[in-house]
Amino acid sequence: MGRNPQLNAEGKLTHLLTLEGLPAEVITGILDTADPFVSVGEREVKKVPLLRGKAIFNLFFENSTRTRTTFEIAAKRLSADVINLNIGASSTSKGETLLDTIDNLCAMNADMFVVRHSESGAPHLIAAHLAATGRTDVHVVNAGDGRHAHPSQGLLDLYTIRHYKRDFRDLSVAIVGDVLHSRVARSLIHGLTTLGAPDVRVIAPATLLPAAVGALGVRAFHDMRAGLAGCDVVVMLRLQSERMKGALLPSPGEFFKHYGLTADKLALAKPDAIVMHPGPMNRGVEIDSAVADGERSVILPQVTFGIAVRMAVMSTIAGN
Amino acid sequence: MATLAIVNARLVDPATGLDRPGTLCIRDGRIVATGDAPRDFRPDTTLDARGLVVAPGLVDLAARLREPGLEHKATLESELQAAVAGGVTSLACPPDTDPPLDEPGLVEMLKHRARMLNQAHVYPVGALTQRLAGEALTEMGELAEAGCVAFSNADHPLHDTQVLLRAMQYAQTFGHRVWLRPQDPWLGRGGVAHEGEVATRLGLAAIPVVAETIHLATIFALARATGSRVHVARLSSAAGAALLRAAKAEGLEVTADVGIHHLHLCDVDVGWFDPQARFVPPLRSTRDRDALRAAVADGTIDAICSDHAPADDDAKALPFAEADPGATGLELLLPLVLQWARESKLPLAAALSRVTCRPADILGIDAGTLRVGAPADLCVFDPDDPWRVTRDALASQGKNTPYAGREVVGRVRWTIVGGNIVHAAAAGERASIR
């Protein structure tokens, strides 16, 4: 497998591709860097000059509003020039290949690519291509690739958990829903296990869990009530409507009955448990409105922290 | 006519288990003596094979030549050159060309082109169904007359078990053998990697082992019902090898092969999405790999093939799931078989039987032996000569290999087809590693 492709020769982060295999101090470093950036967003002038003159390309091969917007805001608060490219199609269905697109944007002196792609591994491919062509000063941030990873989301989830719970070493975290297709879940699981969370649980029907989920260092539950018992953090995953097609689930209604988060199920978690969701939410499918809007929900703070964390990611890798 | 003697050789004939020093004599394209030269034999040409093994030319059950239609990946010229550079003197090519080999004219053209090039013998495998669509049967009789030695649907799924049953019955009627790659089309749908820890970590759509075993069970049940001779192509799992073992024990007329890469690599080699490690069927777990190695060693799996799949660089410069599957293999077959033999502590003759006489039997061709009277299709190689797998070292137009940059051991010195030297590596290359 070789060296982790997102670390440079000095072991410093040069791309953010996945949280898997990142040293704990690198993750903690980003979370610490994000701290002061939270207050930047609260100021009258919401800008710091850290990335002034840098050209950051938001390269979205898959549609996204929220992630692209928060990356754009984060880059602008760092004073970078942001160019949004919504390609909205896989690299094979259009004339130009993914790597041709990258070469062209490099010719425009891009400094960083924020990439979302429907295929797992696309950002790794770009990073390998940049390395092979000697462009070690160009950085890649994975903004979600297929089912594989969404590391900036994982980091903002970790930031949120740390903000409310202070320490990971005593936590029980339950991740509920479509783990099979979820890059959010994979990134959060790697982050939590790296930072020493002793009890990470996934809760889903067998059709929505990957075959070897235990190898990720989590405990699998099919019974949501058993899985939520005594946990400190509940992370709900978004359920895509197309999951009804491939015989993975019979109906949203039945899913909600068994795996939707309601107040009475949440009562099984610790009294101070927080509720998270990466968004966008399907109210009444994976989460009840009363819980989503309730006092234990930290879903909107996640969004706020997400900008600070993405500022931390971009300034960290550009600075290395 | 022409006579050739290969002297000072280590003669290895997998068909008989012969492994002894001596001379091999060729007259008019056939082997006329092994061991000692007849007293009256006056060779026109003498090759000194000191330190070299003289074995039958390799017989490869799956080498894609990419013609017709996929010449941007490879051509007959480039791949037949690669074949003889790898010591392969007979090869079967799957029907997954563009258009597929479902028309006698296409097969005749391919045979004709191959004959003109006068290198390795080419044995086309005809399409089992028209356009490989899994619906209507091809004209197997016509295709066989044109030169097809067997029929398969390549890697294209055959969803309809009634079509599968009838294809087997029809082929059986005329004595043709059906080659099938076992993968349930539904369970493997959309999958690109072995269902296991690696696919889970990387978020790759998975193909479970049960996709192979379910289809194998179907194939064996239909073979039992029809009495068909079936060849199972590209086994990938321990459970699949166990089912094959049981089918053979039961007395079904089944044979099987495995791709050489599946004896050496496993899903961990995918690393961080290396497209060079994307294969169809997928590389599975180390346990599966070890079971496949054992199944070839004990004869359950009859043959090892290169599963040669040359691809252009662009087809591999894509995200893992979008990249072309497969690797160039003709020139790596021999060194990788030798490596497997060394690691499995198998005698050379036994190991080489999996790439010579056994696949020749499956194809029903007169090849893969040093028997007197057999065609003089030979591979003369140095079993200890190491070389590095680089773009320049490969004659194949496909430079796609997970072995790029790695060192392998075993290099072909001469390849002889029908008594003619069709490939000669420059002498003095031994141990020359750059």
Quote the pLDDT of residue A65: 85
Q: Is residue B433 part of a domain?
A: no
Same domain, B342 and B400: no
Smallest Cα–Cα separation from B60: which of B195, B257, B344?
A: B257
Question: Quick one: A121 and A159 in the same domain?
Answer: no
Residues B235 and B384 in one domain: no
Same domain, A224 and A252: yes
10 Å Cβ neighbour count for B50?
Answer: 9
pLDDT tens-digit series, residues B122-181: 999 999 999 999 999 999 999 999 999 999 999 998 989 999 999 999 999 999 999 999
Does residue B434 lie in a domain region?
no
Q: What is the mean pLDDT of residues B236-245?
A: 98
Indicate which of A99, A148, A180, A216 best probes the interface with B, i.e. most B CBs within 10 Å of its own CB: A148
Q: What is the pLDDT of residue A86?
A: 78
CA–CA dist B228, B365 (Å, integer): 19
pLDDT in tens, B249-272: 999 999 999 999 999 999 999 999
Task: Please give the mean pLDDT across all residues of chain B.
Answer: 95
Domain assignment present for residue A207? The answer is: yes
Instruction: Pick the residue from chain A with its C-alpha nearest to B187.
Output: A246
Structure confidence at residue A49 (pLDDT):
94
Quote the pTM value: 0.94
pLDDT tens-digit profile of B294-349? Answer: 999 999 999 999 999 999 999 999 999 999 999 999 999 999 999 999 999 999 99
Domain endpoint, select from B310, B340, B363 = B363
Instruction: Supply the pLDDT for residue A90.
Output: 45
User: Does any domain span residue A12?
Assistant: no
Contacts of B317 in chain A (CB under 8 A): 97, 99, 125, 129
Phi, psi of B410 (to 5 degrees): 120, 110
Q: What pLDDT shows up at residue B102?
A: 97
* pLDDT tens digits along B42-60: 999 999 999 999 999 999 9
**Considering its fold, how many domains does chain A have in total?**
2
How many CB pairs (< 8 A) connect A and B?
Answer: 86
Handedness of CA B74, B80, B81, B84 (dihedral sign): positive
* pLDDT recorded at residue B237: 98
A239 & A112 share domain: no
pLDDT tens-digit map of B72-115: 999 999 999 999 999 999 999 999 999 999 999 999 999 999 99
Q: pLDDT per residue over B178-222, tens digit each? A: 999 999 999 989 999 999 999 999 999 999 999 999 999 999 999
pLDDT-derived band at B230, boundaries 50, 70, 90? very high
In the stretch 187-226 of chain B, residues with CB closer than 8 A to chain A read: 195-197, 199-206, 208
Q: Are residues B317 and B414 in the same domain?
A: no
Residues A155 and A262 in one domain: yes
Render pLDDT for B369-400 as a digit per residue (tens, 0 to 9).
Answer: 999 999 999 999 999 999 999 999 999 999 99
Residue A232 falls inside a structural domain:
yes
- CB contact burial A85-112 (16+ within 10 A = b; e otherwise): eebeebbeeeeeebbebbeebbeeebbb
Task: Examine the domain organization and report whether B74 and B181 are in the same domain.
Answer: yes
> To which residue do tokens 């093994």 refer?
B53
Best of B272, B274, B286 to mutate (most A CBs within 10 Å, chain A): B272
B223 CB burial (10 A radius; 0-12, 13-18, 19+): buried
Residue in B197, B268, B317 closest to A215 by CB:
B197
- Taking 50 as the pLDDT cut, the residues of chain A under it are 1, 90-92
Say whether A215 and B271 touch across the interface (CB within 8 A). Answer: no
Whole-number pLDDT of residue A319: 86
What HEC string does chain A produce? CCCCCCECCCCCECCECCCCCCCHHHHHHHHHHHHHHHHHCCCCCCCCCCCCCCEEEEEECCCCCHHHHHHHHHHHHCCCEEEEEECCCCCCCCCCCHHHHHHHHHHCCCCEEEEEECCCCHHHHHHHHHHHCCCCCCEEEEEEECCCECHHHHHHHHHHHHHHHCCCCCCEEEEECCCCCCHHHHHHHHHHHHCCCCEEEEECCHHHCCCCHHHHCCEEECCHHHHHCCCCEEEECCCCHHHHCCCCCCCHHHHHHHHCECHHHHCCCCCCCEEECCCCCCECCCECHHHHCCCCECHHHHHHHHHHHHHHHHHHHHHC
- CB spacing of A90 vs B322 below 8 angstroms: yes
Within a domain: A9: no
Amino acid letter, residue B78: S
Q: Does residue A66 sit within a domain?
A: yes
Whether residues A210 and B321 touch (CB distance < 8 A) is answered with no
Q: Do B319 and A99 touch (CB under 8 A)?
A: no
Same domain, A156 and A291: yes
Tell me if A19 is assigned to some domain: no
**Catalytic residue list of B:** 307
Let me know if residue A11 belongs to a domain: no
Amino acid found at A226: A
- In this structure, the answer to whether residues B201 and B92 fall within a common structural domain is yes
Identify whether residues A309 and A250 lie together within a single domain: no
* Cis-peptide into B68, omega within 30 deg: yes
Range of A66's domain?
A: 24-149+304-319
In sequence order, the β-bridge partners of residue B152 are: B127, B179
pLDDT digits (tens, 9 = 90+) for A269-315: 999 999 999 999 999 999 999 999 999 999 999 999 999 999 999 99
- For chain A, give the number of residues: 320
Full residue range of the structural domain in which residue B14 is found: 3-55+373-424
Q: Are B334 and B413 part of one and the same domain?
A: no
Give the count of domains, chain B: 2
